[in-house]
């Protein structure tokens, strides 16, 4: 029942808000948030009772013929994360003076439905359908705002999403032609190394890398994240790009565990390392607040890909893989919460100053201290300072890397943290500078500031809450029991 609520609640919300014209989104939004949060925690409770991952059979058909839902620790955390983002970004949208188009609400809930569909589905083709729903809904969220720059960015995003989706779908088709099934857990038991499997796997991975996106396939990301409204940028950065990475984890460790080679894992780790450094350097060079935050996403996504080279050397050493896996999921969660908070805070700063220029953030600490405090807390998570979720994530990844003898990733983590500190302190330096010009162009509401602060505080609390989540995550954790 909990899984069904996660799929139907946002879908019904989207339909209702579309029909009613989104004139009164508050009751529908509140009902969807409460329903999905309770359902997400209910899934976690059911998983704890089962003590292992379990399937939910749709129509009574068993895999691989039936279309089934799969629930494990990663599923639970992703659906709860999506609900939290829906709660706080929705709160911000209700409070923010320039909340954008009224179509934001039904479109976002349509994307929400697709996200939960990806996180719950055990079928590779259904995952493709849900990824398409997410992409088209996200592009529509950008386009309805009506700004030319946003529409150009949306077109680039559309092209990247289409190429990525079709490449992924071609790989799925080749796997189906070879093995006659699409259930990724069932495929994991029968897929063997070989030319056809390798080509299919390579196509799926390439498509997902473009959609995530990993350096050097990130060229569409900065404009797509920085030009829309703050709440749209927050959602794109926090969760939409994470859905494709989630699928990559599934097919790498569960769908085709026999196919990935150590050299491919090292390649992804190297590209992730370059993304960390290159994205941070580009963030430092920006003179636009929202573009700085967008380029930092390029860097922060790079940390997620360090699990692949670590896992390649962790065969027979599940303890170190467990650390790397848990750290990667923590990085995903911490980045989502902190980056959503930063985009929302950037929107408040732009509203208060009337421009996106980083230099116009001067004096913000005096005028909007809550917003600057929020930026500082979110920045601490991105830097990996204790006791934030970012610190916990990087510490666990570091333990996994050192455990398998790959000490060089420690240098990447150190350099990435220092560069993150540089661009976060660049923003704070401007914020604490004195401003001689007239003060604010507009006064954002206090409620919108508290919504952004709540997300930042969640990213800190994540780092203080480790034992129970770690136990839940490794219940049938990806690759842990190989």
**So what's the pLDDT on residue 149?**
84
pLDDT of 467 strictly over 90: no
Nearest to 238 by CA among 100, 378, 85: 85
Please report, for the chain, the start and end positions of each structural domain, with discontinuous segments joined by +. 275-482
Q: At 469, is the pLDDT very low, low, confident or very high (cuts 50, 70, 90)?
A: low
Pick the residue with more confidence: 21 or 47?
47
**So what's the pLDDT on residue 444?**
64
Pick the residue with more confidence: 465 or 272?
272
**So what's the pLDDT on residue 482?**
40
**Over residues 156-176, mean pLDDT:** 93
Which residues on adjacent β-strands are paired with residue 183?
A: 123
| Contact present, 451 and 348 (Cβ < 8 Å) | no
Q: What tokens appear for 69 in the block?
A: 């839902």
Pick the residue with more confidence: 170 or 441?
170
**Over residues 108-130, mean pLDDT:** 94
Q: At 170, is the pLDDT very low, low, confident or very high (cuts 50, 70, 90)?
A: very high
- The string of pLDDT tens digits covering residues 328-351 is 999 999 999 999 999 999 988 888
| Contact present, 280 and 416 (Cβ < 8 Å) | yes
pLDDT of 65 strictly over 70: no
**So what's the pLDDT on residue 436?**
57
**So what's the pLDDT on residue 353?**
74
Distance (Å, whole) CA 347 – CA 177 = 48
Report the range of poorest mean pLDDT among 41-55, 73-87, 167-181: 41-55
**Over residues 105-119, mean pLDDT:** 94
Which burial class, exposed, middle or buried, applies to 147 when counting CB atoms under 10 A from its CB (0-12, 13-18, 19+)? middle
Q: Tell me which long-range contacts 129-137 makes (C-beta under 8 A, separation of at least 24).
A: 130/243, 131/165, 131/168, 131/211, 131/243, 131/244, 131/247, 132/165, 134/240, 134/243, 135/161, 135/162, 135/165, 135/211, 137/107, 137/108, 137/110, 137/111
CB atoms within 10 A of CB 447: 12
**So what's the pLDDT on residue 481?**
44
Radius of gyration of the chain (CA): 21
pLDDT of 237 strictly over 80: yes
Integer distance in angstroms from the first to the last C-alpha of the chain? Answer: 31
Average pLDDT of the chain is: 87
Pick the residue with more confidence: 6 or 470?
6
Helix (H) or strand (E) holding 68: strand 68-71
pLDDT of 441 strictly over 60: no
- The string of pLDDT tens digits covering residues 260-276 is 989 999 999 999 999 99
Report the range of poorest mean pLDDT among 13-17, 159-163, 241-245, 312-316: 312-316
Q: What tokens appear for 377 in the block?
A: 């807390």
Report the range of poorest mean pLDDT among 36-50, 217-231, 374-388, 437-451: 437-451
């Amino acid at each position: 029942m909990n899984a069904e609520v996660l799929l139907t609640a946002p879908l019904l919300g989207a339909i209702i808000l579309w029909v009613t014209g989104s004139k009164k989104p508050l009751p529908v939004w509140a009902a969807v948030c409460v329903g999905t949060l309770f359902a997400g925690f209910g899934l976690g409770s059911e998983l704890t009772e089962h003590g292992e991952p379990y399937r939910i059979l749709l129509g009574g058909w068993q895999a691989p013929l039936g279309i089934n839902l799969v629930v494990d620790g990663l599923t639970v955390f992703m659906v709860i994360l999506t609900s939290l983002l829906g709660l706080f970004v929705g709160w911000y949208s209700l409070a923010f003076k320039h909340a954008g188009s009224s179509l934001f609400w039904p479109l976002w809930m349509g994307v929400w439905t697709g996200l939960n569909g990806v996180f719950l589905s055990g079928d590779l083709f259904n995952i493709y359908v849900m990824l398409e729903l997410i992409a088209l809904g996200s592009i529509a969220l950008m386009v309805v705002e009506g700004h030319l720059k946003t529409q150009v960015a949306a077109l680039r995003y559309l092209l990247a999403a289409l190429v990525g989706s079709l490449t992924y779908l071609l790989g799925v088709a080749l796997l189906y032609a070879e093995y006659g099934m699409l259930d990724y857990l069932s495929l994991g038991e029968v897929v063997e190394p070989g030319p056809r499997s390798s080509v299919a796997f390579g196509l799926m991975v390439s498509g997902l890398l473009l959609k995530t996106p990993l350096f050097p396939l990130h060229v569409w990301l900065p404009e797509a994240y920085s030009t829309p409204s703050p709440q749209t940028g927050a959602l794109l950065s926090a969760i939409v790009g994470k859905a494709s990475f989630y699928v990559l984890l599934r097919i790498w460790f569960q769908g085709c565990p026999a196919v990935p080679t150590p050299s491919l894992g090292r390649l992804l780790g190297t590209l992730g390392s370059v993304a960390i450094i290159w994205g941070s350097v580009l963030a430092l060079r920006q003179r636009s607040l929202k573009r700085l935050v967008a380029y930092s996403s390029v860097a922060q996504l790079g940390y997620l890909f360090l699990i692949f080279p670590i896992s390649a050397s962790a065969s027979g050493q599940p303890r170190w893989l467990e650390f790397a896996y848990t750290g990667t999921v923590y990085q995903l969660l911490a980045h989502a919460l902190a980056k959503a908070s930063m985009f929302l805070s950037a929107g408040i700063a732009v509203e208060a100053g009337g421009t996106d220029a980083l230099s116009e953030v001067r004096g913000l600490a005096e005028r909007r201290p809550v917003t600057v405090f929020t930026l500082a807390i979110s920045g601490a998570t991105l830097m990996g300072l204790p006791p934030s979720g970012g610190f916990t994530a990087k510490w666990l990844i570091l333990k996994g890397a050192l455990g398998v003898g790959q000490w060089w990733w420690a240098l990447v983590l150190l350099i990435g943290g220092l560069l993150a500190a540089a661009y976060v302190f660049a923003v704070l330096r401007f914020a604490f500078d004195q401003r001689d010009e007239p003060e604010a162009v507009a006064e954002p509401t206090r409620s919108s500031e508290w919504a952004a602060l709540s997300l930042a505080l969640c990213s800190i609390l994540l780092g203080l809450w480790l034992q129970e989540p770690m136990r839940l995550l490794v219940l049938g954790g990806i690759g842990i029991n190989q």
